[in-house]
Amino acid sequence: DETLLRHAIDRELARDGQIFFVHNRINDIEKVADKIRKIAPHISIGIAHGRLREGELEQVMVDFVAGRTQLLLATTIIESGLDIPRANTIFIDESDHYGLADLH
């Protein structure tokens, strides 16, 4: 729902927070980024997935941790080891494609 997404993004940004957005298909992750940009053109987006070169992936993550990007659009590559206190909101695109353990 675009209205819900816009509202949640605006709410997080108003509190100087950050957002995780999980989309688990690399082949159309850029289209999802474009959709988010249309909904919230003022947001900076980092894209992370397993096909990025190591240095490129690391830079995306460093930028998010440092607060230079406000939304991290990523595959489940982010599922472990991230503790970013400013990131309080997570969207799971097509959550019905995940099992309960994946969502936990």
CA distances for 9 relative to 5, 18, 59, 99, angstroms: 6, 8, 23, 25
* This prediction's pTM: 0.89
Judge: domain 2-103, CATH 3.20.20.70: no
What value does the mean pLDDT of the chain take?
Answer: 88
Given a cut of 70, whether residue 98 has pLDDT beyond it is no
Indicate the range of 24-28, 52-56, 92-96 predicted with least confidence: 92-96
Residue 78 CA to residue 1 CA, distance in Å, equals 23
Can you tell me whether residue 74 is helix, strand or coil? Answer: strand
91 beta partners: 21
Average of per-residue pLDDT across 23-34: 95
Per-residue model confidence (pLDDT) at position 88? 86
Give the count of beta carbons closer than 10 Å to the beta carbon of residue 72: 24
User: What tens digit of pLDDT does each residue of 52-68 get?
Assistant: 998 999 999 999 999 99
Give the count of beta carbons closer than 10 Å to the beta carbon of residue 73: 24
